[in-house]
Chains A and B, each alone.
Chain A
Amino acid sequence: MKNRINQLFHDKKENILSVYFTAGYPQLDDTVTIIEQLVANGVDLIEIGMPFSDPVADGPVIQQSSLVALKNGMCIARLFEQLKGIREKVNIPLILMGYLNPVLQYGVEAFCQKCAEVGIDGLILPDLPLEEYHDSYREIFARHNLHNILLITPQTSEKRLHEIDEASHGFIYMVSSSSTTGVKSSVADFHLDYFERINQLKLQNPRLIGFGISNKETFDNACQYAQGAIIGSAFVKALGDNGSLDEKISKFVNQLVKGV
């Protein structure tokens, strides 16, 4: 069975732009509009954040958006409701990103089943480590054609890099520096030696660089070392500005791609 993530990386080899947003932020029912607007502005891949009360891998911007989203009433069941019919509107890969506990409470099997029904292509669950994934989740994810996207960091050992590469089927999420989201924001902070080192390993999977990508400069720089990059906090922050969603989103993506 084809997965849209593989299709994307097959068709496009560079400058892939992936954007993260927290579902339910700024308003509960913005989810579909945000997805449509991102697609209209040429984004290649979307990560839909499932808000969690205790997002330990995230910095203040995503924490705050998660809090607001939860207050707005967002939950996994509601998100699936909103995403029903999304595949009649957009065709790019969609990934759900979030923490394990809400997924466990929904029920892993039921969750994956729903993902498949609405047309989700992959999952990023930062607190589901490789070992637990292998032991208890891989088979369920695979049955529903969901790619599990694993992270690597500058501290990941070479042995583990290969294990993660072996276990990955879509792409590898390359964390720019060991940090929570939204911390670093200038090219000077990037560990270029790490980017080079990973490049030279000739991993089987394509890579997207994320964490700290916030503008055209950092995006372009990351794209020199990987197939593309992921923007999270910077976009979530922009969504919090005044103005209509359409305006905010086209302005943000244009600045990022064209620098204007």
Chain B
Amino acid sequence: MSYQVNRKGYYGEFGGAFIPEMMHPNIEELQEKYMEVINSYNFRQDFIALLKHYVGRPSPLYYARRMSEKYQSHIFLKREDLNHTGSHKINNTIGQILLAKALGKTRIIAETGAGQHGVATATVCALMDMKCIVYMGALDVQRQAPNVKKMRMLGAEVIAAESGNKTLKDATNEAMRDWINNPEDTHYIIGSVVGPHPYPDMVARFQSVISEEIKWQLDEQLGRELPTRVIACVGGGSNAAGAFYHFLDSEAVELIGVEAAGKGIETKETAATLTLGKPGVLHSSRSFVMQTNDGQIIEPYSISAGLDYPGIGPMHANLHATKRAKYLWATDDEVLEAALELTQLEGIIPALESAHALAALKKLSLKPEDVNVISLSGRGDKDMETYLNHFGY
């Protein structure tokens, strides 16, 4: 079985490109050209060089000794938190800005929740001298003020989305509307493995550097390429897609995604899409969606703005449906506890998103000989206020 996208942009029965006709020329252009561009010699050269010298890749694969002792199992952390701008999001924005250049676009738009993708986009736009507009839910503009200031300092215009719940979903709606209204000069840098084909596949390819490195780093450190399992948090699912990518066909490797349960999956304040959603179409692809019986999208909730999304990438919907990957969830409380544990055992303050992956350790039966790789997708700087409020330091 192939877990990759097929020619029509589907992972099994999920994916596709449910776009209004106004977006057709841009999406068709991307569909026709993305593989050719990203496989071209020039693109590869630029992409690899920027990841190395600008982003700081390869990111370390760190053997967490004290965590391993505590959980009586080998735990490695893939340190995406050490990337420039503090998360895995930059792998994708570097790829997409190079693609946008190759396609002759001059204006970049993006959506953002926590602001990590917004900052990563504003950063590459500064680097490449491109006009940058970031849509952010009005509520998130308030919740994530430091990132808003960073984006503005980087030269981006941040537009507050005032529709709906004023969070990530609404920012995505506004970015899509912008693209409809600016059909000729604009490229939309989507921040995760969501949206119409080819975005899920394209973003997964840019993030796949994560598992590519894990393989040779494990080989270097343990003399084996394959871990027992890979664990990653899942919002739209891009760091998970990148961490799973080169292990998809190695069925012996267990793949674990962790969704945000917010205040609990039995409450209304949750974002556990695969656990609670049903198949549907949101933001131009068919996947699992949190929705009412009438097909209206439910506003999600999570303590982490980056996982506060009612959809999930179609690749994960398919990995879930085919049972190739397993999706767990973690509540806000479990996540805070896991973040504090990592901080005090290893001296690493994780992003709230990434702490969801850490929280899964308590939900798995780990064996002493297991090799667990956790995608530490981002650092906790942006979440300090939340942490301080909870822990009272």
Given A128-B18, A157-B25, A183-B181, decide whether A63 and B294 contact each other with a Cβ distance below 8 A.
no
The answer to whether the Cβ of B169 comes within 8 Å of any Cβ in the partner chain is yes
In the complex, which range does the number of interface residues on chain A fall in? 35 or more
B162 CB to nearest A CB, Å:
9
Contact bitstring A45-75, B, C-beta under 8 A = 1, else 0:
0000000111111011001000100100001
Bound: A197/B164 CA distance, A: 39
A67, A100, A160, A179: the one contacting B22 at CB < 8 Å is A179
Number of residue pairs across A and B with beta carbons under 8 Å?
109
Please tell me which one of the listed residues B17, B177, B284 contacts residue A180 in the complex, with CB atoms under 8 A apart: B177
| In contact, B181 and A132 (Cβ under 8 angstroms) | no
Q: Are A54 and B164 closer than 8 Å at their CB atoms?
A: yes
B176: chain A residues at CB < 8 Å are 56
Please report the C-alpha to C-alpha distance between residue A127 and residue B19 in the assembled complex, in whole angstroms: 5
Docked CA distance A153–B181 (Å): 11
Q: Is the CB of B16 within 8 A of A102?
A: no
Contact with A127, one of B183, B184, B278, B281 (Cβ below 8 angstroms):
B281
Given contacts A103-B295, A178-B183, contact A156 B16 (CB under 8 A): no
Contact call A53/B297, Cβ cutoff below 8 A: yes
Residues of A within 8 A of B22 (CB): 57, 151, 153, 155, 175, 178-180
B280 touches A160 (CB 8 A): no
**Is B294 within 8 A of A155, CB to CB?**
no
CB <8 Å contact, B281 and A104: yes
Q: Is A101 on the interface with B (CB-CB < 8 A)?
A: yes
* Most chain A Cβ neighbours within 10 Å, of B8, B20, B21, B281: B21
A56-B173, A126-B20, A126-B21 are contacts. A104–B280 as well, Cβ < 8 Å?
yes
Tell me whether A188 is interfacial, beta carbon within 8 Å. no
CB of B21 within 8 A of CB of A156, answer: yes
Assess whether A105 is in contact with B294, with CB atoms less than 8 Å apart.
yes
Complex partner residue of B282 from A54, A75, A160, A179, CB under 8 angstroms: A54
A187 at the interface (CB under 8 A from B): no
Counting chain A CB atoms within 10 Å of each CB, which of B8, B20, B184 scores highest? B20
Are B19 and A129 in touch, CB under 8 angstroms? yes
Contacts of B279 in A (CB 8 A): 104
Q: In the complex, what distance in Å separates the CA atom of A105 from the CA atom of B279?
A: 9
State the Cβ distance, A209 to closest chain B Cβ, in Å: 14
B281 contact set on A, CB distance < 8 A:
99-101, 104, 127
**Contact across chains for A77 and B294 when beta carbons are under 8 A apart:** yes
User: Which residues from 120 to 177 on chain A have a C-beta closer than 8 Å to any C-beta of chain B?
Assistant: 126-129, 131-132, 150-153, 155-157, 160, 175
B389 interfacial by beta-carbon distance below 8 Å = no
Determine whether the beta carbon of B20 is less than 8 Å from that of A57.
Answer: yes
Do B20 and A70 have beta carbons less than 8 Å apart? no
| Whole-angstrom CA separation of A160 from B22 in the bound complex | 13
Which residues of the other chain, B, contact A75 by a CB distance below 8 angstroms? 294, 296
B20-A127 in contact (CB<8A)? yes
Given A126-B20, A127-B284: A101 in contact with B289 (beta carbons within 8 A)? yes
Compute how far the CA of A150 lies from the CA of B22 in the bound complex, rounded to whole angstroms.
Answer: 11
Q: Which of chain A's residues have a CB closer than 8 A to the CB of B18?
A: 100, 127-129, 132
How close is B49's CB to chain A, nearest CB, in angstroms? 35
- Which residues in A have their C-beta under 8 angstroms from that of B278? 105
Q: Is B45 an interface residue (CB 8 A)?
A: no
Q: How far is the CA of A10 from the CA of B81 in the complex (A)?
A: 65
User: Which residue of the partner chain A has the closest CB to B184?
Assistant: A155
Given contacts A56-B176, A129-B24, contact A102 B294 (CB under 8 A): yes
Distance in angstroms from A12 CB to nearest chain B CB is 26
By the criterion CB–CB under 8 Å, are A178 and B180 in contact? Answer: yes
Q: Do B282 and A129 touch across chains, with their CB atoms under 8 A apart?
A: no
Complex contacts, A55 vs chain B, CB 8 Å: 173
Over the window 226-253 of chain A, the binary record of Cβ atoms lying under 8 Å from chain B Cβ atoms (1 yes, 0 no) is 0000000000000000000000000000
B163 within 8 A of A: yes
Instruction: Report chain A residues within 8 Å CB of B184.
Output: 155
Tell me if B291 counts as interface (CB < 8 A to partner A): yes
In the assembly, what is the distance between CA of A37 and CA of B19, in Å?
34
**Closest residue of B by beta carbon distance from A153:** B22
- Contact call A56/B177, Cβ cutoff below 8 A: yes
With a CB–CB cut-off of 8 A, which chain B residues contact A54?
Answer: 164, 169, 173, 282-283, 297
Q: Tell me if A104 and B295 are in contact (CB < 8 A).
A: yes
Which B residues from 4 to 20 make CB contacts under 8 A with A? 8, 16-20
Closest Cβ–Cβ distance, residue B10 to chain A (whole Å)? 10
Q: In the complex, A99→B296 CA distance in Å?
A: 10
A192 at the binding interface (Cβ < 8 Å) = no
Among B8, B177, B291, which residue has its beta carbon within 8 angstroms of that of A101? B291
A197–chain B nearest beta-carbon distance, Å = 15
Shortest Cβ gap from A190 to chain B (Å): 15
Does residue A198 face the partner (Cβ distance < 8 Å to B)? no
Q: How many Å lie between the Cα of A63 and that of B184 in the bound state?
A: 25
CB-based nearest A residue for B178: A180
Q: Measured between alpha carbons, how far is A226 from B164 in the docked complex, in Å?
A: 36
Q: A70 is contacted by which of B289, B291, B296 (Cβ under 8 Å)? A: B296
Nearest chain-B residue to A103 (Cβ)? B295
Additional pairs, 15, CB under 8 Å, beyond known A105-B278, A129-B24, A155-B183: A52-B296, A53-B297, A54-B282, A54-B283, A54-B297, A56-B20, A56-B176, A57-B20, A57-B22, A70-B296, A76-B295, A77-B294, A102-B295, A151-B21, A156-B25
Residues of chain A whose beta carbon lies under 8 Å from any beta carbon of chain B? 52-57, 59-60, 63, 67, 70, 75-77, 99-106, 126-129, 131-132, 150-153, 155-157, 160, 175, 178-180, 183
Closest 10 CB pairs of A and B: A105-B295, A102-B295, A151-B21, A75-B294, A126-B20, A53-B296, A178-B183, A57-B20, A155-B25, A101-B295
| B interface residue numbers (CB < 8 A to A) | 8, 16-22, 24-25, 163-164, 169, 173, 176-177, 180-181, 183-184, 278-284, 289, 291, 293-297
